[in-house]
Structure 1
Amino acid sequence: MRYRAVRSRDERFDGVFYIGVTSTGIYCRPSCPARTPRRENIRFYRSAAEAQAAGFRACRRCRPDTTPGSPEWNVRADVTARAMRLIGDGLVDRAGVTGLAEQLGYSERQIHRMLVSEVGAGPLRLARSQRAHTARTLLETTDMPVTEVAFASGFASVRQFNDTIRETYAYTPSDLRRRMRRRAVGAGRGPTDAHGAQPATGTIALRLAHRRPADLRRVIDFLSTRAVPGIEETIGDTYRRSMSLPHGPAVVELTPDDGWVRTVLRLADPRDLTAAVARCRRLLDLDADPQAVDAALGADPPLRARVAGMPGVRVPGAADGAELAVRAVIGQQVSVAAARTVAGRLVAAYGKPLDAPVGSVTHTFPSAAVLADVDPAAFPMPGRRQRTLHELTSRLAAGRIRLDIGVDRDEAERELLTVPGIGPWTASYIRMRVLHDPDVFLPTDLGVRHGLAALGLPGDPRAAAAHAQRWRPWRSYALMHVWTAIETKETTKR
């Protein structure tokens, strides 16, 4: 089956597996446009890191290190999947394998054994492969000195950096930079921002790949409708927002294009590049497998026409777990517009101003620790919700509730439900958008009930939940179809 995918250059398998070609010593994505190698010259690998460990260098034509991530890690909730998400966010670079093991609650030896068994490489090798890609991005899109690129990419030494780049790409770091500049001069242009202009000094312009089809403009519309003044704005097809990253703030711009998302990152610290890219990918659900989702949902007659008319629906994610949880509480029992207004007031009062605002993005969202120190009576909302918000932020700040991508989804939901004022709807909504669970359904949601009625399905929560069993394990994607089944200006609590 895998060789058939290679022969047909099937893009659906990019990032799912990689091929090493023994006759050339390179590894490629399955859709590489080069001539298909003979079967006896191909070796299959579960990750780019495994291919690199076997001695193969990255193909210069198909650039396999830039493929979308495997959709498996978003769907699965086991320890291996959680580890892969944390490594993808750069945790090993920031806290080492020890920090990864502490986050997951397993020993370093157990984590190593599980990852080698599943993806053919341990956490250090996976992180090293990721560092190489980060370094390549910085070399090709910035004028940072090569030595600074080495440390910004997470390497412990310049020697390790040079050895890894040569091993992965068969070029020195300086050679990589010269090749990119020659290509840019030959094309008569350099990297551009989301609007096709040359990016300002200190920014990084790149393209984020995804699998097709991808209804990303609908995700932009979803985020735009809920954009909080001060931290988010939408200009045309471009969504812009601030982020709080491990080493400082950032402003990101995301513009859907044909086959990728044009991205501009303004980072206070280039060490945050890996985390910024990972969070942008999750925000737009770029690693999803749309053909698997559409095939499953399109098999149910009530959804068939919608799936055919809206292929590649994605589930909007979140830039920060604590932020989304706070906004979910703010939005309880009020309209989307009212929730935006209240959240904007919190940003203006307690958010941290950016040193370099971009457009109307002037602040980062206030952290849980900052909000936990605020007198609840100062929150512009009813008393019961004030107490809920205070309790939630206090637990988040103390670490009693974790909402990062490495947390166990069931455990996080149980902890959320112990907060007075947080019920199943809010906990499930957070689980879907923050923890990227593809199988969440909200049968009590008012918008869902209207959408189900428009589809000719029962709106009663019990009956709706029973019918939604047919959509597993993709109920979150079905939810997006249901929410858009009616065109209405009426806002709901979501």
Structure 2
Amino acid sequence: MDDETRYEAVCSRDARFDGEFFFAVRTTGIYCRPSCPAVTPKRVNVRFFPTAAAAQAAGFRACRRCRPDAVPGSAEWNVRADLVGRAMRFIADGVVDREGVGGLARRLGYSARQVQRQLTAELGAGPVALARARRAQTARVLLQTTELPVTELAFAAGFASIRQFNETMREIYAGTPSELRAAAARGSARTAARTAARQAAGGIPLRLAYRGPCAEAEMFDFLAVRAVPGVEEVRGPRGGRTYRRTLRLAHGTAIAEVDECGGTRMRRISPAGLVCPADRGGDGGWLECRLRLTDLRDLATAVQRLRRLFDLDADPYAVAERLGADPLLGPLVAQCPGLRSPGAADPEELAVRTVLGGPPERAAGLVRAYGKPLDTPDGGLTHLFPAPAELAGADVPAPVRALCTALADGTLVLDAGADRAAAERALAALPGVGPRAAAYIRMRGMGDPDVAAGVADAWRPWGAYALHHLWRAGIRPQGDVPGAVRDPDGAAARLSPR
């Protein structure tokens, strides 16, 4: 897109581009999302930025009306395999907060200076500024959804000091932490009641935003038939289910709950200033989520991993435009708009489950034998999935042992920003893994939307979405070749089209 096209999107308040770019107004010093309901500024006063961090680095404050920092992430970072794309995935996963810029550079295989130069040149902000924007967003969520003391909250969000926390919040949101919390408390009685109900249910209540239509029922179907007992479960009737799972994180553990929305929900503020109901997922929306963490420093990382699991940063408009023109896929795309390509909350877990093979109950046996039990079982959740180091020397099938040994000693890396092509080659070289399993792990475990489907390039860069449409319809990909991705247990094909 050029700037004139971006301005047209701003004039039409096009929510399709929320998170894909941001615009700032020189005369007000504020930056917004494209769908902001405020009066459209004159073109001469508008600047465009690829990230919220770039707008903040240029001295602009976040709009209080459209909350531009709360939009879905750009799908570009999932597609790109270059230094910038990999760096953005690592930063979103909290690598800079945990390991600093030096740790980020080591994971990328470049010097810290090269990483700084490349990100600044392309995004207008370096890794520190990008991580700072992420910390500020986490802090705002905690301020407005919990009663945590401000001091505890600041360190939970990843800030090094209270002074740094106060200065950052004042600069980005034009208000002190206390003012931001008070503003949230002044919301409508309905909003307050809803928040209180979510908090009473346990955990930190969050909304996981997405753009465009979202085939929630199909996504929950996909996860339900693959849920590993003890680690995952899906409760409730279709249309109102809750997906629950345990998470192993850098500082502790978590239990996550994500709700399926079966009907309409309240949408963003309209240009007229009214909150309007909208049809299910037609113009973007959110999934309700609750997180119970043993260490609040893991909040942002847990959110990002759930976003990858549910593929919430996808661009369904771009997918539909590309795949909808295909004679085979066009009717399938029209039948199920917004079909996602679910990822994984833990890439290493997904790899072990894929190589182990068989139904979820087989992986559940592995969990019971080697997984760490929760201190207190929670419904059907009883264990954490065993880490690779715990399985490398265990009595498990030889391919699983070889995989876990490679993961434990660092020979194989499946992190969010790892080199996907190199990881797929390393996986395919392991005994008992093979190219199909390696491609499936690349698609789901590493969130690659451009995995080849054993067909012509006409579906790229959205081969993963093409496969999900075919699996859902029970159709085997044309040109099935040794490297083509297959659904390992055939579960997707067993789901009849709806």
- State TM-score, norm by structure 2: 0.88
- 8 A Cα contact 2:210 2:313, kept in partner: yes
Residue identity opposite 1:477 in structure 2:
Y
**Does residue 372 of structure 2 align to residue 352 of structure 1?**
yes
Inter-partner Cα distance in structure 2 for 1:112 and 1:369: 33
**In the TM superposition, what is the alpha-carbon distance from 1:389 to its structure 2 partner?**
0.8
**In the TM superposition, what is the alpha-carbon distance from 1:357 to its structure 2 partner?**
3.0
- 8 A Cα contact 2:225 2:491, kept in partner: no
Aligned match of 1:451:
none
- 8 A Cα contact 1:191 1:206, kept in partner: no
Q: 3-state DSSP class of the match of 1:251?
A: strand
Q: 3-state DSSP class of the match of 2:333?
A: helix
**Does residue 295 of structure 2 align to residue 269 of structure 1?**
yes
**Does residue 144 of structure 2 align to residue 133 of structure 1?**
no
- Displaced runs of 4+ in structure 1, greater than 6 A? none
- 8 A Cα contact 1:57 1:168, kept in partner: yes
Q: What do you get for the CA RMSD once the two structures are aligned?
A: 1.8
**Does residue 427 of structure 2 align to residue 430 of structure 1?**
no
- 8 A Cα contact 2:205 2:290, kept in partner: yes
Aligned match of 2:75:
71
Q: 3-state DSSP class of the match of 1:159?
A: helix
The size of the alignment, in residue pairs, is 451
- 8 A Cα contact 1:150 1:157, kept in partner: yes
**In the TM superposition, what is the alpha-carbon distance from 1:305 to its structure 2 partner?**
0.9
**In the TM superposition, what is the alpha-carbon distance from 1:187 to its structure 2 partner?**
4.2
**In the TM superposition, what is the alpha-carbon distance from 1:179 to its structure 2 partner?**
1.4
Residue identity opposite 2:65 in structure 1:
R
Inter-partner Cα distance in structure 1 for 2:23 and 2:307: 24
**In the TM superposition, what is the alpha-carbon distance from 1:106 to its structure 2 partner?**
0.5
**In the TM superposition, what is the alpha-carbon distance from 1:493 to its structure 2 partner?**
8.1
**Does residue 408 of structure 2 align to residue 397 of structure 1?**
yes
Inter-partner Cα distance in structure 1 for 2:191 and 2:405: 53
Q: 3-state DSSP class of the match of 1:264?
A: strand
Aligned match of 2:460:
472
Q: Given the alignment, which residue of 302, 306, 316 partners 1:280? A: 306
**Does residue 216 of structure 2 align to residue 205 of structure 1?**
no
Inter-partner Cα distance in structure 1 for 2:199 and 2:69: 25
| Equivalent residues in 2 for 1:109-120, closer than 5 Å | 109-120=113-124
Inter-partner Cα distance in structure 2 for 1:351 and 1:140: 35
Shift in alpha-carbon separation, 1:391–1:186, aligned structure 2, 3 A: closer
Q: Given the alignment, which residue of 52, 56, 61 partners 1:52? A: 56
**In the TM superposition, what is the alpha-carbon distance from 1:184 to its structure 2 partner?**
5.6
Residue identity opposite 1:418 in structure 2:
A
**Does residue 169 of structure 2 align to residue 171 of structure 1?**
no
Aligned match of 2:243:
239
Aligned match of 2:355:
329
**In the TM superposition, what is the alpha-carbon distance from 1:6 to its structure 2 partner?**
0.2
Inter-partner Cα distance in structure 2 for 1:352 and 1:152: 25
Instruction: Show structure 1 runs of 5+ residues with no match.
Output: 380-385, 443-464
Shift in alpha-carbon separation, 1:2–1:91, aligned structure 2, 3 A: same
Q: Residue by residue, what CA displacement relative to the aligned partner does 1:165-207 show, whole Å, maximum 9, x if unpaired? A: 0001011011111111221657451525xxx644356x21010
**Does residue 316 of structure 2 align to residue 312 of structure 1?**
no
**Does residue 84 of structure 2 align to residue 96 of structure 1?**
no
**Does residue 150 of structure 2 align to residue 124 of structure 1?**
no
| Equivalent residues in 2 for 1:344-383, closer than 5 Å | 344-374=364-394, 376=395, 379=396
**In the TM superposition, what is the alpha-carbon distance from 1:491 to its structure 2 partner?**
5.5
Inter-partner Cα distance in structure 1 for 2:324 and 2:190: 46
Aligned match of 1:13:
17
Q: Residue by residue, what CA displacement relative to the aligned partner does 1:364-385 show, whole Å, maximum 9, x if unpaired? A: 10000111121x3xx3xxxxxx
**In the TM superposition, what is the alpha-carbon distance from 1:217 to its structure 2 partner?**
2.2
Residue identity opposite 1:10 in structure 2:
D
Aligned match of 2:275:
none
Q: Residue by residue, what CA displacement relative to the aligned partner does 1:196-242 show, whole Å, maximum 9, x if unpaired? A: 644356x2101011111111221111111000000100013211111
Residue identity opposite 2:361 in structure 1:
T
Aligned match of 2:265:
none
Q: Given the alignment, which residue of 270, 291, 302 partners 2:317? A: 291
Aligned match of 1:418:
429
Aligned match of 2:480:
none
Q: 3-state DSSP class of the match of 1:126?
A: helix
**In the TM superposition, what is the alpha-carbon distance from 1:88 to its structure 2 partner?**
0.6
Residue identity opposite 1:360 in structure 2:
G
Q: 3-state DSSP class of the match of 1:191?
A: helix
Inter-partner Cα distance in structure 1 for 2:380 and 2:93: 27
Inter-partner Cα distance in structure 2 for 1:401 and 1:184: 50
| Equivalent residues in 2 for 1:179-198, closer than 5 Å | 179-183=183-187, 185=189, 187-191=191-195, 197-198=198-199
Inter-partner Cα distance in structure 2 for 1:181 and 1:148: 19
Inter-partner Cα distance in structure 2 for 1:187 and 1:215: 26
Shift in alpha-carbon separation, 1:266–1:324, aligned structure 2, 3 A: same
Shift in alpha-carbon separation, 1:279–1:188, aligned structure 2, 3 A: closer
Aligned match of 2:32:
28
Residue identity opposite 1:417 in structure 2:
A
**In the TM superposition, what is the alpha-carbon distance from 1:54 to its structure 2 partner?**
1.4
Deviates more, 1:314-323 or 1:16-25: 16-25
Shift in alpha-carbon separation, 1:169–1:197, aligned structure 2, 3 A: closer
- State TM-score, norm by structure 1: 0.88
Inter-partner Cα distance in structure 2 for 1:492 and 1:129: 41
- 8 A Cα contact 2:185 2:192, kept in partner: no
Shift in alpha-carbon separation, 1:186–1:209, aligned structure 2, 3 A: closer
Inter-partner Cα distance in structure 1 for 2:303 and 2:190: 28
Q: 3-state DSSP class of the match of 1:353?
A: strand
Residue identity opposite 2:96 in structure 1:
V
Q: Residue by residue, what CA displacement relative to the aligned partner does 1:65-105 show, whole Å, maximum 9, x if unpaired? A: 00111110000111110000010111111111011011111
**In the TM superposition, what is the alpha-carbon distance from 1:441 to its structure 2 partner?**
3.8
Shift in alpha-carbon separation, 1:96–1:330, aligned structure 2, 3 A: same
- 8 A Cα contact 1:249 1:354, kept in partner: no
Inter-partner Cα distance in structure 2 for 1:391 and 1:76: 29
Inter-partner Cα distance in structure 2 for 1:350 and 1:251: 19
Inter-partner Cα distance in structure 1 for 2:474 and 2:350: 25
Q: 3-state DSSP class of the match of 1:69?
A: coil
Residue identity opposite 2:367 in structure 1:
V
Inter-partner Cα distance in structure 1 for 2:446 and 2:372: 25
Shift in alpha-carbon separation, 1:232–1:296, aligned structure 2, 3 A: same
Instruction: Point out the structure with the larger helix share.
Output: 1
Aligned match of 2:165:
161
**In the TM superposition, what is the alpha-carbon distance from 1:143 to its structure 2 partner?**
1.4
Q: Residue by residue, what CA displacement relative to the aligned partner does 1:141-182 show, whole Å, maximum 9, x if unpaired? A: 111110111111111111000000000101101111111122
Q: Residue by residue, what CA displacement relative to the aligned partner does 1:29-74 show, whole Å, maximum 9, x if unpaired? A: 0000111111122111111111111111111110000011111000
